Amino acid sequence: MSVKINARPRMTGDGNMSIQTIGVVSTGDMGHAIGRTLREGGFTAMTALDDRSDRSRKLAADAGIEDAGSLASLTEKADLILSVMPPSAAVDFASRAADAMRGTGKAPLFVDCNAIAPSTTQTISGIVTDAGAGYLDGGIIGGPPGRSAPTRLYVSGEAPERLEVIARPDLLIRPLPGGVGAASAIKMCYAALNKGAMTLETLVLIGAAQLGLSQELHQELSESQAQVLQRMERRVPWLAADAERWTGEMLEIAKTFSEIGLTPKIHQGAADMFQLLAESSLASETRETADRSRTLDQAVAAFAASLSAPGRDAAD
């Protein structure tokens, strides 16, 4: 049985509200880890598991996150809702949360923590504030809490420092000036480099395989860019597990750059690469079930087989 360190509500920095019960939707790789560290910090972590997958249910249970059942029930009980999900689901979830707020008469502070364009978070802000709730824009950088370096949650909007009350040793809260959109913008820039580089690495590896030069490229990289090769070996073999949700993230990055006069084409191409991996024979894996013995060459062969429908059939 878990023990809460501090069950007393914590006041936000502006002194206008207390936070004790925090809704986290959804409880995937990032969401369940955030819920776990908040629970360990003395908060009540809660989610809405009606119509959710068995995996989400298991991750929530493993993290000690309570199930409110419906989104309406979660809205009634929560002081704060953190939206943590694939970017393609963010606007629809905000709309459903706003409907739940209207239906229950309860409007908890809503923080969108998803990898979305500044213009998308502005849209969500309008949806949520129209329902009477406060809104903060959030951008998560780093892996889930509890793994290696602390997770950074950048926050912007009206009085973003009020979210510092939920900070944990493995979940740093970093308020930003600039209003709604600033936190999403830094996430877009960071992910454009980080995940964009993942797709470039994968593109090069698949290209070399298709051209019959994998061995030669491997030899050259081992001699001239050993650190790059080691990084590829550490991460490329397991990208398919996250590729579907990262496809939407790349499209949000493309949208961000297009709206400030920069080319969207680089990250539209990155979205194409993640979509290719999402159609591979490895895409059915999760982070829990991924074969950690897989070599880089084996992964590249599986990805290359996705270039055509016959190839996908042959890889199955």
The answer to whether residues 37 and 103 belong to one domain is: yes
Instruction: Let me know if residue 133 belongs to a domain.
Output: yes
The answer to whether residues 114 and 229 belong to one domain is: no
The answer to whether residues 34 and 139 belong to one domain is: yes
Give the pLDDT band of residue 147 (cuts 50, 70, 90): confident
Domain end among 179, 206, 221: 179
Q: What is the pLDDT of residues 178-237, one digit of tens each?
A: 999 999 999 999 999 999 999 999 999 999 999 999 999 999 999 999 999 999 999 999
Please give the residue that has the higher pLDDT: either 148 or 258.
Answer: 258
Q: Locate tokens 């480099």: which residue? A: 193
Domain end among 179, 204, 223: 179
The answer to whether residues 22 and 170 belong to one domain is: yes
At 10 the pLDDT is 61
The answer to whether residues 256 and 300 belong to one domain is: yes
Please check the confidence at residue 293 and state whether its pLDDT lies above 80: yes
The answer to whether residues 87 and 207 belong to one domain is: no
Instruction: Let me know if residue 285 belongs to a domain.
Output: yes
At 287 the pLDDT is 87
Please check the confidence at residue 8 and state whether its pLDDT lies above 60: no
How far is it, in rounded angstroms, from Cα 179 to Cα 183? 8
- Phi, psi torsion values for 111, nearest 5 degrees: -120, 115
Please check the confidence at residue 255 and state whether its pLDDT lies above 80: yes
Question: How many structural domains are present in the chain?
Answer: 2
Q: Which residues contact 273 (CB under 8 A, 6 or more apart)?
A: 199, 202, 203
Domain end among 127, 151, 179: 179
Please check the confidence at residue 6 and state whether its pLDDT lies above 90: no
Instruction: Let me know if residue 302 belongs to a domain.
Output: yes
At 12 the pLDDT is 55
Mean pLDDT throughout 139-152?
95
Report the mean per-residue pLDDT for the chain. 93
Instruction: Let me know if residue 251 belongs to a domain.
Output: yes
Q: Domain of 59? A: 10-179
Please give the residue that has the higher pLDDT: either 234 or 2.
Answer: 234
Contact present, 90 and 120 (Cβ < 8 Å): yes
At 314 the pLDDT is 45
Q: What is the pLDDT of residues 242-252, one digit of tens each?
A: 999 999 999 99
Please check the confidence at residue 119 and state whether its pLDDT lies above 60: yes
Q: What is the pLDDT of residues 129-141, one digit of tens each?
A: 999 999 999 999 9
Q: What is the pLDDT of residues 39-82, one digit of tens each?
A: 999 999 999 999 899 999 999 999 999 999 999 999 999 999 99
Q: What is the pLDDT of residues 81-96, one digit of tens each?
A: 999 999 999 999 999 9
At 16 the pLDDT is 55
